[in-house]
Structure 1
Amino acid sequence: MKPELTADALVQLVHRYYPVGLHTADPGYNVTEEAQRLTRLLEANAAGSQTWKDFYQRVRGEFPDCSLWDTTVPLNDPCYGCRVSQPGFFPGDPRYDSVVCLLSQLAPVYAIYAAHLEEKGSGLPRDHWLCFPPFPPEYQSRETRLARLIESTFGYTRLSNEVLFTSVPDLVPRMANFSIGEAQLIDCLFTPNRW
């Protein structure tokens, strides 16, 4: 990992975009210098960069047997996101398995995770899990190909699980329903909403 992308450096970076010690419901949260800085960044990236749009088309070409879903939530989360299904799975199916990439708008870093969602029928709980590396074998080929595309397109660095799950105990990401003390770098650099 590049020295400027250490967990400590990334924790310092996210402190520039989230106010210290304030919950998102606090009336002063959105008027802080940090929250305003994040709002300006999100507004600047709301339409999606041309590089992101080109990347999404490259993913479509790389995975023609998969459904794709741009999971970017402009003006909410400081990241771009893309969900690549396993072959034969489509959004809305009772079972949907996928590999998801998140690319930060705050730093040149990314994360990838595997996801499984299966509806069990009316009244029954659904089966749902997320997995960070190492992935189950059936997800590894897509993981490798997606990582290669991200790095060749953006030059971003993939964060290790250790860095992703570094605690940032004094911040609450703006779209998170967290208490102070629950946030991790993955929540602040990307999104607290993963499924």
Structure 2
Amino acid sequence: MSPEQLLSIVRHYWPSTEEYYLRGEASPELERLQALWQQELKKLDKWWALLDELEVELPGFNIGDGTATSDASFRCIAYSGRTDPHHFAVVGCLSILAPVLTVYGLEFEETEERRRVIRICFEPLPAEMQQPARVMARKIEAGFGASALPREVAETPIPLFVEWRAPPETTLFHALFASRPEIIP
């Protein structure tokens, strides 16, 4: 899909002004997004089956679900099994707005008190993230008929308000997948 086609889709689900956010109300666009989530949540069993498949295909990784209905995608996470303070996770996203997916990585360090993201990694991913990213992308594509969204398209700026993002920093990535990709459970 072209950036223009994707923008046309996401305009239907994200507002072009912050008026409703400032009033603490759901805009008509956000109401449509929540209604779409009610339909998409019927696919949750299929999504959980994907997580089960990832557990088999990615031994040594802890697999989890990072889906949040405030965003516009199902998200799965493969946490590295490393035991040193520096860890990484690979996150696979399946948009509910268009048949597209993306995979990205996070490097973080964990202390007794909290986990701190050191870096968000997009294409090209560091070497240790590439194999789990390929597996995730392949499984999401096969199971849900989505195709990978090229990074240059994902980075297209859009004039919409997506949760905590406002123009000019809002991109198609934020509207299709996650407004705060660094936040995972």
1:13 alignment counterpart: 9
2:22 alignment counterpart: 26
Q: Quick check: 1:120–1:127 contact (8 Å CA) kept in 2?
A: no
The Cα shift of 1:29 comes to: 5.5
Distance in 1 between the 2:19 and 2:92 partners? 27
Distance in 1 between the 2:23 and 2:102 partners? 32
User: What is the identity, as a one-letter code, of the residue corresponding to 2:141?
Assistant: E
- CA gap of 1:94–1:47, structure 2 versus 1, over 3 A, is farther
1:70 alignment counterpart: 65
The Cα shift of 1:20 comes to: 1.9
| 2:99 equivalent among 91, 105, 108 | 108
Structure 2: gaps spanning 5 or more residues: none
- CA gap of 1:119–1:57, structure 2 versus 1, over 3 A, is closer
Which moved further from structure 2: 48-57 or 153-162? 48-57
2:161 alignment counterpart: 172
The Cα shift of 1:63 comes to: 1.2
- CA gap of 1:31–1:86, structure 2 versus 1, over 3 A, is closer
- CA gap of 1:28–1:69, structure 2 versus 1, over 3 A, is closer
For the pair 1:139 / 2:129, whether they are aligned, the reply is: yes
Q: Quick check: 1:72–1:80 contact (8 Å CA) kept in 2?
A: yes
- CA gap of 1:68–1:40, structure 2 versus 1, over 3 A, is same
Q: TM-score scaled to structure 1, two decimals? A: 0.82
Aligned pairs for 1:40-79 within 5 A: 40-46=35-41, 48-73=43-68, 75-79=69-73
For the pair 1:191 / 2:174, whether they are aligned, the reply is: no
Tell me the matched-pair count: 181
- CA gap of 1:22–1:69, structure 2 versus 1, over 3 A, is same
Structure 1: gaps spanning 5 or more residues: none
3-state SS, counterpart of residue 81 of structure 2? coil
1:162 alignment counterpart: 152
Q: Quick check: 2:72–2:178 contact (8 Å CA) kept in 1?
A: yes
Runs of 4+ in 1 over 6 A off after TM superposition: none
1:36 alignment counterpart: 31
Work out the percentage of aligned pairs sharing the same amino acid. 29
3-state SS, counterpart of residue 144 of structure 1? helix
